[in-house]
Amino acid sequence: MNRVTRPFHQSDLQILVNDLAPLYGDRIHLSQAVREQHGQGEDSYGCMPPDVVIYPFCTEEVAQIVRLCHQYHIPVIPYGTGTSVEGHLLATQGGVCLDLSEMDQIVEINPQDMDCRVQAGVTREELNKALRYDGLFFPIDPGANASIGGMASTRASGTNAVRYGTMREAVLGLTVVTPQGEIIRTGTRARKSAAGYDLTRMYVGAEGTLGVITEVQLRLHPVPEQIRSAVCSFENLEGAVYTVIEAMQAAIPMARIELLNNLQMKACIKYSKLEGFAEAPTLFLEFHGSPVGVQEQIDLFEEIAGSNGGTQFRWADNTEDRNALWTARHNAYFAAQSLKPGAKAITTDVCVPISRLADCILAAEEAAKESDLLCPIVGHVGDGNFHLLIVFNPADCDELEAARKLSAKVVEGALAVGGTCTGEHGIGSGKKEYLRTEHGNAVEIMATLKRALDPNNIMNPGKVLDI
């Protein structure tokens, strides 16, 4: 971990705090406990606390704070729910952390247009609660109950992306505070537009390095008439993966299709107390549609799965059983960690062309075996995205080193077949070295954008790019 080198004068930070204190009162925090809580995500990169944490209520307050930070060259780190996993929250140069959790207003819901506008701090579960009377839902679910602003910033996806897309497709427009403290709006309420450069997509996935997202316009979807979930075990991993490929080619509109390997199933069975499941490669499935349409999807899927060694379909048709199933899936990361007392996990996040998925997963399993580390695998396989959860003892330097080597090997394998080092977690502090391998000289274009929009490098410095 790099040492903190602050690009600003402590006295300027003091001026900023004094200026804001009368306006923000107890929404400004300088205590070590609050700062430490905000200097880390749910990852193994440790903690680098910011110098001050402020809780703004609205876009105008964010702009006011950022204008002062701009004046004094003080870094700004936007914070949603703290559930990112690539060292996004490390205050590598100190500065001001903007905790947006008080910006939790749902600005509007438009049932006819199936869209809504929310403040950045609204979480996906809060949003779905608000939508339940309109027959609509917001499908993106990256496991954690993350904030919409954070999800937009990391271009998050999750288990529904195979059908409903990622935050790239879900975001129709944004309100952003620029590094100079200006407020801009991107996008419109129209479903599509060819008007000028796609600023919305530029800020989605920029990880807070180009500005602070304060409001998000989202596309919503009608709640399907019928939802059916199931799990299906396979004799071997290839069978499970070929089932996925064939289902996609047959245009079955899968809502969810998730793979767990033997070890991940073992971990989930124990952690989530699943009964009657086999420690075998398993697909977790969900079908959305009309009753007739869902039945047709299921018939076709069962035929494909059967021809690839799939057996033991278990259906979860009531809401309770379905929630238990998907909660177990979402807890895969914690289940993995629980395989070894006191352990942490590094999660890889490669995404590859689906034709190369079986090869890449088998190679990852082989590399894991060689490393002697426990490495369950879970994946959004409809997208070609899988996570090797490398479990290691954080007190053991050799294990950490081996875990990092293994992670690098999995990434190199993915890049070699035209894949990406990160499907949904982002680059953060942890994957910067891979960005250039993946994108070559296109990284210079990214650096040009960053320098042009944030010449003083105050927006979440040290993430995505070192400039």
Does residue 379 touch its own copies according to CB under 8 A? no
What is the distance between the alpha carbons of residues 259 and 239, in angstroms, rounded to a whole number? 11
For residue 346, what is the enclosing H or E element? strand 344-347
Q: Which residues pair with 97 in a beta bridge?
A: 53, 77
Stretch that binds its own copies, among 149-157, 229-237, 301-309, 317-325 (CB under 8 A): 149-157
The answer for residues whose C-beta is within 8 angstroms of residue 253's C-beta and 6 or more apart is 163, 288, 289, 297
Does residue 421 touch its own copies according to CB under 8 A? yes
Q: Are 265 and 279 in contact (CB under 8 A)?
A: yes
Between 93 and 132, how does the x/- string for binding to its own copies read (CB under 8 A)?
-----------------xxxxxx-----------------
Does residue 391 touch its own copies according to CB under 8 A? no
Does residue 467 touch its own copies according to CB under 8 A? no
Binder among 2, 10, 14, 188 for its own copies (CB under 8 A)? 188
H helices present in 237-379, as ranges: 237-249, 262-271, 291-306, 319-330, 332-337, 357-371
The answer for residues whose C-beta is within 8 angstroms of residue 318's C-beta and 6 or more apart is none
Site for its own copies in 264-283 (CB under 8 A): none
Does residue 157 touch its own copies according to CB under 8 A? yes
Stretch that binds its own copies, among 27-35, 73-81, 196-204, 273-281 (CB under 8 A): 196-204
What is the distance between the alpha carbons of residues 206 and 149, in angstroms, rounded to a whole number? 11
Site for its own copies in 16-75 (CB under 8 A): none
Q: What backbone torsions phi and psi does residue 223 show, to the nearest 5 degrees?
A: -65, 130
What is the distance between the alpha carbons of residues 438 and 415, in angstroms, rounded to a whole number? 6
Site for its own copies in 212-231 (CB under 8 A): 221-222, 224-225
Does residue 201 touch its own copies according to CB under 8 A? yes
Site for its own copies in 332-371 (CB under 8 A): 349, 351-355
How far apart are CB 267 and its own copies at their closest, in Å? Answer: 25
**Residue 436, both tokens:** 């250039």
What is the distance between the alpha carbons of residues 439 and 441, in angstroms, rounded to a whole number? 6
Does residue 448 touch its own copies according to CB under 8 A? yes
Whole-number CA gyration radius for the chain = 22
Between 289 and 318, how does the x/- string for binding to its own copies read (CB under 8 A)?
-x-xx--x----------------------
Does residue 168 touch its own copies according to CB under 8 A? yes
Binder among 81, 119, 178, 457 for its own copies (CB under 8 A)? 178
